[in-house]
């Protein structure tokens, strides 16, 4: 399930700027805990963004993306009130979708 | 007819419930496949070969990052392509255990610019690459890391 993402979609002229902060440990599988045991890899593999059902942006992430991944991008043809939806899937097949409206 | 309609409506509502409860992935999440064999490569040259060969150095790819990262666990990186028809942007960190850090697909109407944060195991050349009209172009910057970001 994961924790909710923070998503902001703001209209700036003809562009909509999207900022996403995902809550995820993004474990590389190389780190050791206090007891010296390797912490298994646990990271988001794909993330996709859509506006009113149309895909606008996709990412494939490796474990080298920082803990609690941040992404920012912008797109055209959005307008205030449109729904922006973001979905991620991790390497344990956990997934989460959150959405916001363009402001 | 009526029963079939009901069955369809029923299956649709089961699907949306499954999505809502996180049991099933919505279709949009399946549009890109995570390409394991490229992400798990450990040598930069192998990644370059796997992505289709030569990357031409170009001013059309703009990589913005500070020269010194105090914390290798969180290195902000911004990549912008000024090249026409850019449909892919990727970040390669040469000295990381797996150079390919992230690859993005830019759909029609989306600006070919992405900002994110990556981990760096140590000081390394960072290559930002963008695919324009089917060809890859590259910008490179060395980022010095004072504290590594891959734990251990």
Per-residue pLDDT tens digits for B96-140: 999 999 999 999 999 999 999 999 999 999 999 999 999 999 999
Using an 8 Å CB-CB cutoff, list chain B residues near A87: 25-26, 28-29
Q: Which residues of chain A make contact with B118, given a CB cutoff of 8 A?
A: 64-66
Residue B84 clears pLDDT 70, i.e. is over it: yes
Mean pLDDT over A90-94 rounds to: 96
Of A73, A85, A83, A81, nearest in space to B110 by CA: A73
Of A2-6, A70-74, B112-116, B140-144, give the lowest mean pLDDT range: A2-6
Decide if A46 and B32 are in contact by the 8 Å CB cutoff.
yes
What's the pLDDT score for residue A81?
Answer: 97
- In chain B, which residue's Cα lies nearest the Cα of A75? B110
A96 contacts on B by Cβ (under 8 Å): 22
Query: Which distant-in-sequence residues (6+ apart) come within 8 Å of B44 by Cβ?
Result: B92, B94, B99, B127
- In this structure, are residues A60 and A45 in contact, taking their beta carbons and an 8 Å threshold? yes
Per-residue model confidence (pLDDT) at position B28:
45
Q: Do B34 and A60 make contact, defined as CB atoms within 8 angstroms?
A: yes
pTM as predicted: 0.85
Tell me the per-residue pLDDT of B65-80, one tens digit each, with 9 for 90 and over.
Answer: 999 999 999 999 999 9
Query: Domains in chain A, please, with CATH?
Result: 6-101 (2.60.40.10)
Closest CA to B38 of B77, B75, B91: B91
Say which of A62, A77, A96 has its CB closest to residue B101: A62
């Amino acid at each position: 399930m994961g924790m909710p993402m923070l998503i902001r979609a703001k209209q700036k002229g003809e562009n909509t700027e999207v900022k996403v902060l995902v809550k995820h440990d993004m474990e590389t599988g190389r780190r050791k805990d206090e007891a010296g045991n390797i912490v298994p890899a646990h990271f988001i593999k794909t993330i996709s963004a859509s506006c009113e059902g149309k895909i606008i942006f996709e990412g494939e992430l490796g474990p080298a993306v920082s803990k609690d991944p941040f992404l920012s991008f912008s797109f055209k043809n959005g307008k205030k009130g449109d729904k922006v939806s973001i979905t991620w899937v991790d390497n344990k097949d956990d997934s989460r979708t959150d959405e916001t409206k363009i402001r | 007819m009526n029963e079939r309609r009901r069955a369809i409506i029923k299956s649709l509502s089961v699907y949306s419930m499954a999505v809502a409860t996180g049991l099933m992935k919505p279709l949009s999440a399946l549009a890109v496949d995570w390409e394991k064999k490229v992400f798990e490569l450990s040598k930069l040259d192998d990644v370059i070969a796997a992505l289709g060969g030569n990357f031409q150095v170009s001013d059309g790819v703009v990589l913005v990052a500070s020269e010194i990262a105090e914390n290798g666990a969180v290195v902000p990186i911004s990549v912008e392509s000024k090249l026409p028809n850019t449909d892919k942007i990727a970040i390669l960190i040469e000295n990381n255990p797996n150079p390919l850090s992230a690859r993005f697909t830019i759909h029609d109407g989306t600006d070919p610019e992405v900002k994110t944060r990556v981990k760096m195991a140590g000081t390394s050349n960072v290559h930002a690459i963008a695919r324009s009209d089917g060809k890859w172009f590259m910008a490179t910057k060395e980022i010095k890391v004072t504290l590594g970001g891959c734990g251990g």
